[in-house]
Amino acid sequence: MWRRGSGTEHGRVTEIITGLHLSPLEVLTVLSAVALVVARWLPAAARPRVTIAAGAVFLLSAISLCATGIRWQLLPVLAGAAVAATFAFSPLVRGRARRVRRWLALPGSLACAGLITAGPVTAWAFPVPVFPEPSGGFAVGTRVLEWTDPDRPETFTADPRDRRTVVAQLWYPARNSAADAPRAQYLGRTEDEARTVSAAFARGVGLPGFLLDGVPHARSHAVPDAPVADEGGRFPVVLFSPGSSGVRGQNTAWAEQLAGHGYVVAALDHPYDSAAVVLADGRTITTATVSTGDRDEDDLLAAGWTAIRAADLGFVLTRLEGLDRGDGTDPLARRLDTGRVAATGHSMGGAAALQAARQDHRFDAVIDLDGYPRGPLSPDLARPTLALTQAITPATDPRYLPRLTEVLTRGTATNYRLTVPGAAHLTFTDGPLYLPPVPSVVGSLGRTESPRVVAAATLAFLDSVLRNGTGDLTGVLPAYGELSVFHPRNGR
């Protein structure tokens, strides 16, 4: 079972009240603000005590918030309370107010109540993400690596000496760490990097950056640079490519769940394609992939970008092979089973995973998380594939399902398409954990169920294909959605 936990920010605990997504200090601020609104309408005998107490609590909690950092969701609460305090303290200062003046305050009190209510509502809609606890038998460690391919020019720049650099974040089975061990920053190695990435990510999905300013406050369950688990032998490897303008950490909940079950997940940043990539030397590379609005031209561009991503996946696999064969100084040396590897990805990353598996026979399986296949369909896909798709609606690109079906039908291994009821495109990412629960955006499965379903279906496929070798998932996958099975051509 996945449970809600807590994160740390600047070394302090910021326990999130389940459902409200407010810290205890923020809850105290909201309650004292509400008391200030109510105080104006209490009987005269009770009004002074309640007003003074609520005002004192609000002032102290507001000062504390200023010291620890105020989320934008609390700004309307502060504004509403400030106005409410005027109504509440005015009778105490001027003496008993005339009855007409008392009822003239009604519109102002209602406006204050509306502002204060906006705080919890927006905190619920745009929360600090709380990651589900991995359910596997391993604790989870994480580290970030950066590699430059000396044989591949960087095609996004005009400098002929520039070479392709890829950043990869690994999640891996780890030894248990102390309960107070620092947990990994979400979307970056540091909070500054996380702010840079989350702001760019927000722009990439068309949102004002401030709406996601709670995201950099999040911590996942992984421990940075934790020692690798002693048991478990060699771990199968799962490479992941994010969606267009996506970033390596966009599927952290999914990656941690896989790592907790004994897989090493390597998620990639693709410079000039990912929303923002912060390199080890401090440079930040933002996306340079821009659509033209012409469908045919955009298809060609997307095919080219997909090919670059596929090459990135192959390059990272080569580096992981080298890391495993190293002199033993790297903690993961002799622990990576690079003979059992899956290429996975979301959206355009799913398309890249399909292409990588066609071109590179080191990949043993493919998982496409709602990705439209791009580029050539030949050679035929020769590795077992699981395609998870959102619910197909009249708004879905009419080319999507036929194109995906053609890819799966042409395969020479048993392939699966699992349509997840209630899923939207961002259901297959961490999006449901911190975006408003709008069905057309993140689906209708909910913040807890969305990551659970995607990870469970993924693990069932990976365990069957990479570990058990049975490949028969017809008795397992239907628990998560509508399953279509595509048998090898020589079996039809």
Higher pLDDT, 329 or 356: 356
Same domain, 256 and 390: yes
Same domain, 184 and 238: yes
Same domain, 62 and 169: no
The two structure tokens encoding residue 144: 């970030």
pLDDT of residue 101: 57
pLDDT of residue 14: 44
Same domain, 78 and 104: yes
**pLDDT above 70: residue 5:** no
Domain membership of residue 133 (yes or no) is no
Give CA–CA dist 338/342, Å, rounded.
Answer: 10
Highest mean pLDDT, choosing among 323-337, 362-376, 477-491: 362-376
Same domain, 99 and 242: no
The two structure tokens encoding residue 136: 């596997």
pLDDT-derived band at 21 (thresholds 50, 70, 90) equals confident
CA dihedral 187, 192, 193, 197 (to 10 degrees): 70
Same domain, 107 and 211: no
- CB count within 10 Å of CB 379 equals 10
pLDDT of residue 387: 98
pLDDT of residue 3: 36
Give CA–CA dist 239/336, Å, rounded.
Answer: 12
**pLDDT above 90: residue 98:** no
pLDDT of residue 327: 78
Domain membership of residue 261 (yes or no) is yes
Tell me which long-range contacts 207-213 makes (C-beta under 8 A, separation of at least 24): 210/72, 211/72, 211/126, 212/126, 212/434, 213/71, 213/72
Q: What is the mean pLDDT of residues 354-368?
A: 97
pTM of the full structure: 0.91
| Pair 37, 116: CB distance under 8 Å | yes
The radius of gyration of the chain from alpha carbons, rounded to an integer in Å, stands at 26
**Domain end point (choices 59, 91, 125):** 125
Q: What is the pLDDT of the chain when averaged over all its residues? A: 90
Q: What is the pLDDT of residues 398-413, one digit of tens each?
A: 999 999 999 999 999 9
pLDDT of residue 488: 87
Q: What is the pLDDT of residues 301-353, one digit of tens each?
A: 999 999 999 999 999 999 999 999 987 789 999 999 999 999 999 999 999 99
Range of lowest pLDDT (126-140, 206-220, 466-480)? 466-480
Which domain covers residue 116, as residue numbers?
17-125
H-helix segments, 226-371: 252-260, 295-324, 348-359
The two structure tokens encoding residue 186: 């979400």
Q: What is the pLDDT of residues 152-168, one digit of tens each?
A: 999 999 999 999 999 99
Same domain, 337 and 451: yes
